[in-house]
Structure 1
């Protein structure tokens, strides 16, 4: 076979596929340039560790699938057995297929077999034009008896210079909380056993050089793209190896491969950057925006009625709310929970996907027509994967839920999980959703919710999370195939189903049920590590948050929501005329900035004052930018100091001014900084020295617009 050197963007991937065993990664990281053919064996040899005392007599080689037969004593890449046999493998390389044309992605497909274990392994490696590595394993049972698969993980090595780890955790209304620490010896394992991605899911597991930040340091990261139980891990061995990896978390007996059957792992997304965390985001955002299914139309300003009316549905009140929405510039109006049979509270009705004739005697069409008459799109809330025990569906089909024989799982929000692996249940849900969309003229959008964990999620007596996850994907795919123009939001008690596999079939995620602007700053900052702004729903809530009871000015709430898929979650009918006029100004500002916000490069500032958070978006051609500077608390120092504006062209001159058309933030200043109300300076000055900030009051945001002067 051969040694393969793949190069895309700023990344090189070197695979030693000379056999006889599985290929090993000799380098994943910074671009190495155009290496000569003779350099590759030397590069590989230079990375082989010595043999030391009390170790194997030959160097341990870490392959794309770590195996004990090669001397690996860390986390196994494959765990499984066939009635207690075939529990250890020694795959041998059979076929290596390399497709490395100048345009598009470079791809390597590895086929390997272990005749003794009667298994065939296929490894698919892709290096896409942004430098992103996508890795997947496929395992086939070639034996005559079932093979129980316990784990199949994709793993990549990381060099020893990576000494710190960063990942995310969280809970309902506090998703995406960062945690950072030195990378110790042993395994740092993040398991999600929620049956969904989870509020506590780490969107990225990052390893980096000491002190890495948003704009500096060398970093490596992985994302496990799966919406069910999953694992993401970092392992550092006393033998010198460091790895990042991930895969699906399987319950005992969940995947039994019959003769000839195969299993494919979730995609592992792996990304490297020499420019800190922003470099990771830049590659990921560019990759996502290049997908064929990425939203291409302007992301409509959305009003969701949940925090305006909750379950109190009244046609006249909702028409009035739609009138106000149109006045402030809303482009999509979403009717949330409470429209279907028996759904007057959250304890009943789920599963009965028929319009409640008592609440809506004329059906939904009058409201849909009224909304569309204002030129707005109409959207509808659904939760198709769930059922209330107090529902006609459950009473008729109590066996249509995920459970172990003889008992039901504990309820969560008074609901159970509908078993989509059951063909009849699946057909019912698909049929009802299809009928709702066909029977109503103008439903353009579904807010697809998923409000509980999957606990004791059994199907036909066996663990059912894997099959349920696959069935949910199939349901979404089939519904969209029947209704090609339909857009779908992934909501799951807020941000509990945010991953790159659900986003293959949805158009945005709801980052959190918390609309408190202070909490949202952090939630959106860290969600944005993986996702570009246009995929993250971000709404202006009421002045008093219903999840934290904090009170914020409209300017702070709107400036926070501005940097996402902008919307409103507020009874604006009860707002004053002054507030509605200001909200309209913020909507107009978002629409003006939307082409920049939803296509530019996200930048974040490593500011020395922890009370100052700054971030922005810079146009791809470096002609303009917008930055937000938020004071999240009081500072130790009297003034926060200068703010460097990252991402600009050092050789061009830029005009900087506060955003026009909206009220400015409240400040403590007796006099303004000397550059206000605006200044023109070279990008080198703005990026290296910056501008002195005004002394903002806590929980205030200053918006800066930047335009090239040439």
Structure 2
């Protein structure tokens, strides 16, 4: 065992772990870097934080641990809960190292409540404290005594090079009878100065809407029970000093890298303890560990910043980019056919659409829903991943040949996790449909579809076989992988693990394949699915006004090159609102750019503007994929400023956006954060699609002159007066070193 105190440091952050004594270790500090500390200084630091003993409490100083348990005197949310199952003892098995049981046994009820208490987890003691790297440790906990169900618990903590704290927990059943795991959650301490919470909610197609509240005594608990994160996913739970913003305040945040059911919580008690934490939300009996079996939790990803939400974003973007499988290739401009043709798959029409796409510089053509056997609408044919011979008598070859001849590659929409009852696979194998029982009413449908049980090995192999056949027959570079309903039955854990495994197998067999994660829009946007995909679809809406907010908060965690941002038609499919081309172009610029608009209906002037926009995107995409996302804190809630600054801060792109009518006739100057204080920059307007609509008698002089040169510090602190934008407009600014 190494020293009982350890100080992990990386990228301006540090944590201090106290493993002195025999109990579950404490996280004494999680936040700003404390600087280099000698062993003696570290000992003194830890000793100085031992609290007083309060009246009517446990008779020793309370130690907030990573894994709170009642047996340690903690009356907060338990970090570990479950019970051993009654009945005859099972034969002891050799310790296994599986991520989770493949098919948990049904729990047997204990003989009595006393028996259940006797089979609760045993009190834990520290067994080992191991260094796994320069900023990574493993804490091993084993039973403290003979009372209770014996378990081995491992806690892995790593402070990554980006200053992100990644933590996981694992539990192994050391007993002779099965153990039903209810909860395995980690808790990270919060200092008392964190007084406000920010998290997110939403609906289809209006995901990641912020909500704020004060931290009061009690628990703020956000649970996802959709079998996926859902459109109302908490996404990122942030605690901070009062009034924290994008560029100010000290903040702490947690995100669970998992695409199934989950919990995030913030807790504050009258004892003075505050914590953020989370873990997978397990249904009763979902994880039953046989003797020797082991379960490992998803990663709880946590970050701290003294520079507000943008500081968190810088850390989380670095972490996400390091975890993602995406290679160094440019992020290709794509056209998706959905809002152009819907289910109307006609070769001549699609070839004309491909011609228009190629003429403006599109690099990838993605055929969306409607190509499969018998798929004429959204009520049939999911699960039959075979090309429809009536629509496509020669298969997809004629279309793909046309697309590739034009210099574009080809992508295809699939939904491997779902099935229609009106499908060949459901008729042949009804036992593969989650919740479908013989001689019983069918389970509740959602968007006229059901869930295919990918945890069933036969169903998994069937889907894998059909996808492999497609990828072998056709040169498919990209799969848009959809998931259009909640689970509503079955095991979210097993379904999510099986989906991950299916993605992993396909990527292993087809190394150049790219995958987009879509879930009826933004229902599955998390760092778990991003570790095995190249893109996420943040929302089904292409309405630029809705997209401004969705992209603003999605980008807290997701770098711009990983979320799709599409140019839609003038009148949005999802809202019926109509917006000018300039606003639509400016909104779709700051992401992985694409088009979801029937370009065959565009005018010559519109096509020229789209081509100019694509040219700007191609010139900027390397900066978007490696730069720093920034957002200004302005006094007017109707006026937003955001941008991406190059890693070396030599140039940047900004957008000034009016999401409503401004509060003042002449708003205050707009600041441009994140630039180099010591450099001078040229700021110039980029008039996409003719530029935004303005309501003014005269613009600011610098605007009329086509630009201005100013210092980076001036631009960040004082800013520049802007043209008077009408509501729902966006002005793009190019900033380059002078």
Instruction: Give the TM-score, by structure 1 length.
Output: 0.97
Contact 2:17 2:27 in 1 (8 A): yes
1-side partners of 2:258 and 2:663: how far apart? Answer: 43
Residue in structure 2 matched with residue 325 of structure 1 by the alignment: 357
The alpha-carbon deviation at position 68 of structure 1 amounts to 0.9
Residue in structure 1 matched with residue 239 of structure 2 by the alignment: 207
The alpha-carbon deviation at position 57 of structure 1 amounts to 1.0
Secondary structure, in 3 states, of the residue corresponding to 1:573?
Answer: helix
The alpha-carbon deviation at position 685 of structure 1 amounts to 1.1
The alpha-carbon deviation at position 660 of structure 1 amounts to 5.9
1:702 paired with 2:736, answer no
Residue in structure 1 matched with residue 73 of structure 2 by the alignment: 71
**Quick one: which of 452, 463, 478 aligns to 2:485?**
452
Secondary structure, in 3 states, of the residue corresponding to 1:48?
Answer: coil
Residue in structure 2 matched with residue 97 of structure 1 by the alignment: 130
1:638-690 Cα distance to aligned partner (Å, 9 max, x none): 01210111011111111111026752211112111122221111111111111
The alpha-carbon deviation at position 292 of structure 1 amounts to 6.2
Contact 1:11 1:131 in 2 (8 A): yes
Residue in structure 1 matched with residue 88 of structure 2 by the alignment: none
1:398 paired with 2:400, answer no
Task: State how 1:413-492 maps to structure 2 within 5 Å.
Answer: 413-440=447-474, 442-457=475-490, 464-492=491-519
1-side partners of 2:663 and 2:552: how far apart? Answer: 23
1-side partners of 2:293 and 2:356: how far apart? Answer: 57
2-side partners of 1:540 and 1:335: how far apart? Answer: 16
1:564 paired with 2:591, answer yes
The alpha-carbon deviation at position 89 of structure 1 amounts to 3.4
**Quick one: which of 530, 543, 546 aligns to 2:573?**
546
Secondary structure, in 3 states, of the residue corresponding to 2:601?
Answer: coil
1:404-443 Cα distance to aligned partner (Å, 9 max, x none): 7555320001111001111111110000000000011x21
2-side partners of 1:594 and 1:511: how far apart? Answer: 19
Secondary structure, in 3 states, of the residue corresponding to 1:643?
Answer: coil
1-side partners of 2:122 and 2:468: how far apart? Answer: 47
1-side partners of 2:443 and 2:276: how far apart? Answer: 34
The alpha-carbon deviation at position 296 of structure 1 amounts to 1.6
Contact 2:140 2:152 in 1 (8 A): yes
The alpha-carbon deviation at position 456 of structure 1 amounts to 2.0
Residue in structure 2 matched with residue 216 of structure 1 by the alignment: 248
Which region of structure 1 is more displaced relative to structure 2, 268-277 or 399-408?
Answer: 399-408
Residue in structure 1 matched with residue 524 of structure 2 by the alignment: 497
1:25 paired with 2:52, answer no
**Quick one: which of 694, 709, 713 aligns to 1:680?**
709
Which region of structure 1 is more displaced relative to structure 2, 584-593 or 258-267?
Answer: 584-593
**Quick one: which of 37, 40, 50 aligns to 1:38?**
40
Contact 2:137 2:158 in 1 (8 A): yes
The alpha-carbon deviation at position 100 of structure 1 amounts to 4.3
1-side partners of 2:486 and 2:315: how far apart? Answer: 31
Report the number of matched residues: 698
Residue in structure 1 matched with residue 210 of structure 2 by the alignment: 178
Secondary structure, in 3 states, of the residue corresponding to 2:219?
Answer: strand
- 1:99/1:255 CA distance change after superposition, 3 Å: closer
Contact 1:589 1:661 in 2 (8 A): no
Secondary structure, in 3 states, of the residue corresponding to 2:16?
Answer: strand
Secondary structure, in 3 states, of the residue corresponding to 1:346?
Answer: coil
Secondary structure, in 3 states, of the residue corresponding to 1:628?
Answer: strand
2-side partners of 1:488 and 1:629: how far apart? Answer: 32
The alpha-carbon deviation at position 8 of structure 1 amounts to 0.3
Which region of structure 1 is more displaced relative to structure 2, 327-336 or 666-675?
Answer: 666-675
2-side partners of 1:86 and 1:56: how far apart? Answer: 24
Contact 2:324 2:530 in 1 (8 A): no
1-side partners of 2:502 and 2:132: how far apart? Answer: 33
Contact 1:288 1:294 in 2 (8 A): no
The alpha-carbon deviation at position 385 of structure 1 amounts to 0.6
1:509 paired with 2:536, answer yes
Residue in structure 1 matched with residue 113 of structure 2 by the alignment: none
- 1:146/1:45 CA distance change after superposition, 3 Å: same
Contact 1:69 1:88 in 2 (8 A): no
Which region of structure 1 is more displaced relative to structure 2, 675-684 or 337-346?
Answer: 675-684
Query: Gaps spanning 5+ residues in structure 2: where?
Result: 86-115
2-side partners of 1:506 and 1:239: how far apart? Answer: 43
1-side partners of 2:17 and 2:684: how far apart? Answer: 50
1:581 paired with 2:608, answer yes
**Quick one: which of 617, 621, 637 aligns to 1:610?**
637
Superposition RMSD in Å: 1.2
Task: State how 1:222-237 maps to structure 2 within 5 Å.
Answer: 222-237=254-269
Contact 1:338 1:344 in 2 (8 A): yes
1-side partners of 2:345 and 2:324: how far apart? Answer: 38
Secondary structure, in 3 states, of the residue corresponding to 2:470?
Answer: helix
1:86 paired with 2:115, answer no
Task: State how 1:292-303 maps to structure 2 within 5 Å.
Answer: 293-303=325-335
Task: State how 1:206-355 maps to structure 2 within 5 Å.
Answer: 206-291=238-323, 293-355=325-387
2-side partners of 1:674 and 1:191: how far apart? Answer: 52
Contact 2:666 2:724 in 1 (8 A): yes
Contact 2:687 2:731 in 1 (8 A): no
2-side partners of 1:263 and 1:583: how far apart? Answer: 51
Give structure 1 regions of 4+ aligned residues with deviation exceeding 3 angstroms. Answer: 404-408
Residue in structure 2 matched with residue 384 of structure 1 by the alignment: 416
Task: State how 1:38-187 maps to structure 2 within 5 Å.
Answer: 38-83=40-85, 84=116, 85-101=118-134, 106-114=135-143, 116=146, 117-187=149-219
